[in-house]
């Protein structure tokens, strides 16, 4: 029906939402046993490439609690 078609999102939009959800759950981590790539079942390099294509910035999902890096004088 026309209503069902208007509610359907593009494949890229669905993938972006799914990757975003995985990044949130992984606190911005891409690699490792608790990373988004592991959660999604894809290679970390593949995930980074897909994120670049979809315009997803992983830094926005990081909850970095480490002290800021010092710069050398």
- Cα angle: 57, vertex 58, 60; to 5 degrees: 80
**What span, in angstroms and rounded, lies between the C-alpha atoms of 49 and 45?**
6
| 3 band by pLDDT with thresholds 50, 70 and 90 | low
Q: How many helices (H) and strands (E) does the chain have?
A: 4, 0
The 10s digit of each residue's pLDDT in 10-57 is: 999 999 999 999 999 999 999 999 999 999 999 999 999 999 999 999
């Amino acid at each position: 029906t026309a209503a069902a078609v208007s509610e359907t999102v593009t494949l890229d939009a669905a993938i972006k939402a799914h990757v975003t959800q995985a990044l949130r759950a992984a606190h911005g981590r891409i690699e490792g046993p608790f990373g988004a790539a592991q959660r999604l079942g894809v290679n970390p390099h593949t995930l980074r490439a897909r994120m670049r294509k979809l315009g997803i910035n992983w830094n926005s999902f990081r909850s970095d609690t480490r002290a800021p890096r010092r710069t050398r004088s």
